[in-house]
Structures are given as C-alpha cells and as structure tokens.
Amino acid sequence: MATTTVELITSQPGVARVTFRSENGVQILSRAVLKELRAIVKQLDADPSLRVVVFQAEGRTFLAGADLNELKSLNETSAHKYSRGGQRLFQRIAELPAVTICAIHAACAGGGCELALACDVRLAAAAARIGLPEVTLGLIPGWGGTVRSTLLLGAAVARRVILSGELFDAAEAARLGLVDAVYPNAEFSAAVEERVAQFLKTGPAALGRAKRLIGDIDGIELSDLLEFEAEEFADCFVGGEPAEGLTAFLEKREAVWSQREPS
C-alpha cells in the first residue's frame, strides 16, 4: 500500500494549507497519518496569526477513508479507543480558532467525509463524490460522522446519508447539504482561493468570536453524543459483520451477511 503523507504549508500570511498526498494518489487515514495530522493540528492551534486553514489533497482521491486492514484488527475494546482517538482529533480541528475550509476535489469517503464535516466550509469540485459508506462494511461512522451529519443535515437527511452508505456526486451532496458549493473542475482551485481571500477580508477578532459562538450553540452535549457514537462503533466488533464487510471489500466481492444479530 502506498504511504500517505501530510504536509503543512504556511507560505501565505494568515493561511495554512494541510495537504494529503500519496504515491498512487489514493490517500488513506492510517494511524500513522492521524499521528502526523495530530501534530500539525497542534501547530495550527498554537499559531495566533492564522486566519484560514485549508485541508486539501492531490491525486485520484481527496481521502479514501480509514485503513481497512487496521479496522480488521480491531476488537470491541480497541475499537472504542480507535473511535475516541479519531473523534478527539477531528474535534480539535472543529475547534481551531481559524476558519477551516475542506477543498474536496475528488472522492471523499468515510473518515475523509468525517474530517470534512468537522470543517467550517466544504467546497467541492464537480468530479467529487462524498459519503459515509461504513454500513456497507458492517460498521458505523466512528470519528464523529453520525453525530456531525445529524447536527448539520438534520435526522432525515442524515438517515439517507448514513443508512444508504452511498457516495453522492457533488451536485447531490450540495443539495443534501454535505457540501456548501460546487465548482467546475477547471475552476475549482481559483474558487477555493476566492473563498480564502473573502475570509481574509473579515475582522480577525469578530470572525473568531462568531465561530466560537456558533460552536457553543451547535456543541451542546456534543461530548456525550460522541461517546455514545464510540460505544456503538465498538459494539460493531462484538459480532462478525466488520470482519466479513472489510474482507469482502478488500477481496473485491459482495459481502455475505448473516441474519441480523440482536442489538
């Protein structure tokens, strides 16, 4: 498997760009990548000069999600720890003082979608696809996806997104509210830069204050909701569905599900 790397670029005053890339253009959120990202987020949080943070990627995908082989190795206990670790990282991203933009140029699935949901603004190129396919692997989103999608989209839309496991094209994702705007592929980079420039024109203190206030309103009992999600994610590993779902995906075959186990 090609190694995914994360690079922090701060060449433009007030702007940081967190770029994911890999040799084959398919970025994976492995434990090693999450560790790199955690260190970068710590740097971002400590820099008071930052106004805007852009999460972006290069290659065939934006982020293809978690490392499936790592997921296969989990049990109920380690799954809970795995879930809470990802939740804490994405919560730190959500709480960054700077405005966060997720620039989604291609497929953004699972953990990639959960990272996007933790950002303030989600912009998509026309070629992008986005969704939470965990149920097709015998899992649920475990890094905040069930909670954030429900808070952002409402329960009815979140049900469609989570329970279907679909990857939605950019136009449908915008209609559902998963992304804020869609741009033609050739114009996407320029559109992202226009949005960055727009935020740089705002008053830094006012922008930060407004973001904190919105976060306080949206975040009522968020910690309790995330803990419940982590417990449910861990419970997936009590039965055999993740083993079958992940193995089937890696073997490029249809999963063979047994009768639904008691919850």
219 falls in which pLDDT band (50, 70, 90)?
low
Distance CA 225, CA 206 (A): 29
Structure-block tokens of residue 57: 């990627």
pLDDT at 262: 47
Q: What is the mean pLDDT of the chain?
A: 93
Identify the CATH class of 4-185.
alpha beta
Asked which of 102-111, 176-185, 216-225 is least confident by mean pLDDT, the reply is 216-225
Q: How far is CA 247 from CA 32, 88, 131, 138, 244, in A?
A: 22, 28, 20, 11, 5
The three-state secondary structure class of 262 is coil
Strands 107-109 and 15-22: unpaired
pLDDT of 121 above 60: yes
**The pLDDT value given to residue 42:** 98
Highest-confidence segment of 92-101, 215-224, 249-258:
92-101
Among 56-65, 72-81, 197-206, name the one with the lowest average pLDDT: 197-206
Cβ–Cβ under 8 Å, residues 64 and 22 = no
Q: Where are the domains of the chain?
A: 4-185
Mean pLDDT is lowest, of 94-98, 188-192, 223-227, for 223-227
According to the model, what pLDDT value does residue 258 have?
Answer: 79
The whole-number pLDDT of residue 213 equals 77
**What pLDDT shows up at residue 30?**
97
Q: What pLDDT band is residue 170 in, cutting at 50, 70 and 90?
A: very high
* pLDDT cut 70: percent of the chain above it: 96
Q: Residue 64's pLDDT is what? A: 94
- Residue 211 has what pLDDT? 85
User: Which H helix or E strand runs over 153?
Assistant: helix 145-153
136, pLDDT greater than 50: yes
pLDDT confidence band for 83 (50 / 70 / 90): very high
pLDDT of residue 214: 78
pLDDT of 218 over the 70 cut: no
User: Residues of the chain with pLDDT > 90: what percent?
Assistant: 83
Strand partners, 169: 129
**Stretch 55-84: mean pLDDT:** 96
- Asked whether the predicted pLDDT for residue 120 surpasses 60, the reply is yes
